[in-house]
Amino acid sequence: MAILHNRVSQKELKELLYQETEPRTTISFYQYFPIAEPEEFRNELYKHLEALKVFGRIYVAHEGINAQISVPEGNYEAFKAFLYSYEPLNGLRLNIAVDDDGKSFWVLKIKVRDKIVADGITDETFNMANKGKYVNAHQLNVMLNDPETIVVDMRNHYEYEVGHFVKALEVPSDTFREQLPMAVDMLKDAKDKNIIMYCTGGIRCEKASAYMLHHGFQNVFHLEGGIINYAKQVKENGLDSKFIGKNFVFDNRLGERITPDIIARCHQCGNPADNHANCANDGCHLLFIQCDNCRQQYEGCCSKECQDFNHLPEEERKEQRKGIDKGRNIFNKSRHRLRPRLGEQGQQPIDNEQ
């Protein structure tokens, strides 16, 4: 049987990516549709996409597919033809990154999961077929002029922090599964108002719109293709962008610039900044916002503690890192979580969805 996963080290793969001379295009897409045998579908995808030198992260489940990938420009049409050869995916909208250096991914990972977006929904009567109405960029802009329209950001707090739509309501949580019941509770007195849900690429807000309808809301909409597609339509049609700042993305870029506005602040010094970084201390790896000055001062670390730790001999660092949970930590001001302590357990995972 052919090897259907990568066996080269991450370091080597990243080096090979930066040696490539052919430009790459970063793409995200998703589709809710029934997959009877996710494992077989996953293996078929891997075989064909690896041959096309596709890199990225793809989740497959009984409920559909969720993907963030990069494709060599010369293979783009062949990739699209292969994807569209599946009837449920034929003509599927592909979200093309708006601020892309082609270095978003350096390995192909395709995983089978219980769901393509972790939602925590256990109600068997919930049905994704009953979802909200799509709105495009122009329609969203028009609806935002209505003071009675409620716009809900279905992304995590660290995504909202660096960029969001004007008037957008934040649902303060680290995970989508927590946000769904929170959104219902926050909007319980607005069941007859126009409610627009949005997210990065559309997958979370589409499910959120169905969840809201399931709980008795009447006029629910969701942004088609999410922020990525909105930014594309704004650029193509010369529209005013009602999204300000940066769109956080779950790849090596950690963000794509939508407007010049910087609405966040450095988590270390408090000066305006919106560049996310992972702490250079591998025993911490905190995701946080860091300005250029602090990056130089702390050598890419989130604290003096982590900076000092990185100066220890390698063997001593390895010894101290033993037993540390490798899950990603995130700066969470809503919970006053400034940074993890070295060796701290119970680190919080983040949703890596569109």
Same domain, 238 and 145: yes
Same domain, 20 and 99: yes
Q: What is the pLDDT of residue 172?
A: 87
Strands, E, within 207-257: which ranges? 219-223, 243-247, 256-257
- Distance in angstroms (rounded) separating the CA atoms of residues 71 and 52: 8
Flag whether pLDDT at 81 surpasses 70.
yes
Domain boundary among 212, 243, 274: 243
Where in the sequence is the domain holding 291, given as residue range(s)? 264-335
In-domain check, residue 255: no
Domain count, the chain: 3
287 φ, ψ (degrees, to nearest 5):
-90, 120
More confident residue, 228 or 323: 228
Mean of all residue pLDDT scores within the chain: 85
Encode pLDDT of 254-263 as tens digits.
788 999 999 9
Encode pLDDT of 98-144 as tens digits.
665 666 687 899 999 999 988 999 998 998 889 999 999 999 999 99
In-domain check, residue 346: no
* SS3 per residue for 40-97: HHHHHHHHHHHHCCCEEEEEEECCEEEEEEEEEHHHHHHHHHHHHCCHHHCCCCCEEC
In-domain check, residue 128: no
CA angle 57, 248, 30 (to 5 degrees): 40
For residue 111, the surrounding DSSP H or E stretch is: strand 108-112
Q: What is the pLDDT of residue 319?
A: 79
Pair of tokens at residue 183: 């959104």
Same domain, 276 and 230: no
| CATH for 89 | 3.30.70.100
Flag whether pLDDT at 347 surpasses 60.
no
Mean pLDDT to the nearest integer, 212-237:
94
| Cα distances (angstroms) measured from residue 165 to each of 26, 90, 238, 349 | 23, 31, 17, 25
In-domain check, residue 340: no
In-domain check, residue 74: yes
Same domain, 107 and 182: no
In-domain check, residue 192: yes
- Distance in angstroms (rounded) separating the CA atoms of residues 52 and 278: 30
Mean pLDDT to the nearest integer, 51-61:
93
**Is residue 97 very low, low, confident or very high in pLDDT (cuts 50, 70, 90)?**
confident
Alpha carbons within 13 angstroms on the beta-carbon side of residue 134 total 10
| CATH for 180 | 3.40.250.10
Same domain, 54 and 154: no
Question: Hey, which residues are catalytic here?
Answer: 199
Q: What is the pLDDT of residue 137?
A: 97
Same domain, 217 and 277: no
Number of other CB atoms surrounding residue 335 within 10 Å: 13
- What is the percentage of the chain residues whose pLDDT exceeds 90? 62
Mean pLDDT to the nearest integer, 286-313:
93
CA 299, 301, 304, 308 torsion-angle sign:
negative
Same domain, 83 and 176: no
In-domain check, residue 221: yes
Q: What is the pLDDT of residue 351?
A: 44
Three-state SS for 13?
A: helix
